[in-house]
Each structure stands twice: as C-alpha cells, then as structure tokens.
Amino acid sequence: MIAFGLGIASRNSALDIIETFFPLPAVNPGEDFARELSALCGLEPGNSGYRTLDAEGLESFHAAASQAFEHEQERTAARLRDSDGPVLLCISRSQSPPTSVPEAFLKLHLLSHRLARPHEQNLDGIFSVLHNLAWTSRGPVSLQDLPGMQLQARKKGETLSVHSVDKFPKMSDYVVPSGVRLADSARIRLGAYIGEGTTVMHEGFINFNAGTEGQAMIEGRISAGVMVGENSDLGGSSSTMGTLSGGGTEIVSVGRNCLIGANAGIGMPLADGCIVEAGLYLTAGAVVRELDAEGNLVRTCKALELSGLAHRLFRRNSLTGAIECLPRKAHVALNEELHAHN
C-alpha cells in the first residue's frame, strides 16, 4: 500500500521536526500521480520520504491533485497555502518501517482515519523515531523548550497547560472518526482504529495499532496490536495483553459477539461468541478443563489450544478453583439505541 499526505509540521527551537498533522491523508494513488508525488519529494519511485514544499512546490501539488482526485486534495493544498508552519509532502509504503517523524505520524493518521487496519503497516522502530514531547494547550512542545515557554506564558499572565508527556498524542487532537462516542478522549492514542458505532467509556483505553471492527462497548483496555470484533463488549477494568513488552509474540484478538467481564482479561486470541467470566484473567498458558454441554470432562489443556473454539464460556469453578471452558448457546447482544451515534 502506498500512502501520502500533505501536512503541517511543528518544529523545536533547533528547527527539528517534532510532529506533523495530516488533515486528509490518502492511500493508493494512481501510478501517474504516484510518480508525480515521488518527483515532488525528490524520491526514486518506490521509496518513502518527505520534503518541505515551498509556494512553487505546493502549487505543483495542487495542479497534480486537481487531475488525479475529485476535489479533496486540491482543497487541502489551497487551505495550507498560508500556513504559519512548514508544509510538507510525505510518502509512505506500508511494508517499510518509518524512518522520520513525518512518516511515523502519517502511518498513525492512516490508522485513525480507517485507511489502514492494525497490522497492515510496518511500524517497527516507531518509538525510536518519535520524540518524547509535552502535549500542551498550545500544541506539541519539545521538553527542552518547555521551561522557556512556560515562563513566557506566565509573564503574560497566562498558563501553559501540559496535558501529557509522551511520544504519542491523543487521537482526537488529530482525527475524530465518524460514528463514535469517546467519554475521555485523553485515553485514546493517535493510531487507534475505532470502528463505526464504537462507544469508549471513561475508563476505556485504546492504544495505537489497535482498536475495534465496528459497533462495540469498550470499558476496558485494548493494548497495542489487539483488534476487537464487532458487537463485542469489554467490561469495566478488563484488559487485553499486548506484545510491546515482556517478550510476548502471540497476537491477541477478540472475536465478534464476545464479552470480557469486569476485571477480566485475556492473553490469547478469543474466537467469536465467547465469554470470559468477570475477574478471570485467561493467559495463553493457563491450564483449562474443557467440558462438554453436559459438564463432562473432554480434556485438560492450555488455554491457547482452545483459542479457535467459538461460543464458549470461560469460568473459574468457585469450589475447586479450576478454570473451565464449556459450550454456550446464547449470544452477546449490544444495546442498539446506545450505539446509534447519530
């Protein structure tokens, strides 16, 4: 997949680019337009990179976009023509890891704009590319520049509010996807993929390169790399295990029509129609007793061996303490009125 974006960059006092906002990124331009984009960036066809555009370069982009697209990209070029910050053009290839701040931000924008799904892009090394910044009421600020800016604000009788110190900003400062409810937008990082009809309650959290397929209720944690299927519900303080740290390699996912109860969690893929009982943390290596519909023991195995079985209830036997897996017939159903985000 080829992606490109025309964006506004932020710089620190040393004039290094520390962040980039792409109002309308796009994917898979036609071959002719892709060649023109590469030429504007000074790149060989097939390579990723970016270039800051002067007035002439921006006009060249505007002319090329007017031939290749209906109207959106040329409107973006016109709107950015009088920007205070440097305007740049960035090209990214899904199979290539990000090598610059603009390319890293473009890849994150693509996820939150639903133009790329989690795991469709190579994000290797993104932490080393991004800067740790103060995300403030005046936008991103280099930590080296922060004390001086705070002092200048105080001298004017103002306060520079620091919302967070992180490498990733909150998604809603860049993208607000259609058809979602976000009770606390600070808990959703740029690069989250949030499907149409998703509700994220106050304690819900969604990391980058993770998210929901469509309608869902999220009151728990979706870690990086985890995708939650449509019509699934993550109960309060529930969690999913990611692979960013700890040496884990198993990609965790939640199927459709699933329920992970309050204070429960999973460290393995969960098939469609499954329920994990409240308070049960189901790791891939947990020993589970698989039962049939009559409650007879079928086998004892690791939980990961059951990850492909749909419509199962995972529970802890309150008498023996053993984790059990048994078939279930009822389906998880979300409240249609609650998730109609008109």
* Residues involved in catalysis: 219
* H helix or E strand, kind and range, residue 109: helix 101-112
CA dist., res. 151 & res. 146, Å (int): 9
Q: In terms of C-beta density within 10 A (0-12 exposed, 13-18 middle, 19 or more buried), how is residue 172 classed?
A: middle
DSSP-based three-state secondary structure for 225: coil
Q: Please, which residues have CB within 8 angstroms of residue 168's CB and are 6 or more apart in sequence?
A: 108, 130, 189, 190, 191, 208
* H helix or E strand, kind and range, residue 39: helix 31-41
Amino acid at 248: G
Instruction: List 16's β-bridge partners, or say none.
Output: none
DSSP-based three-state secondary structure for 5: strand
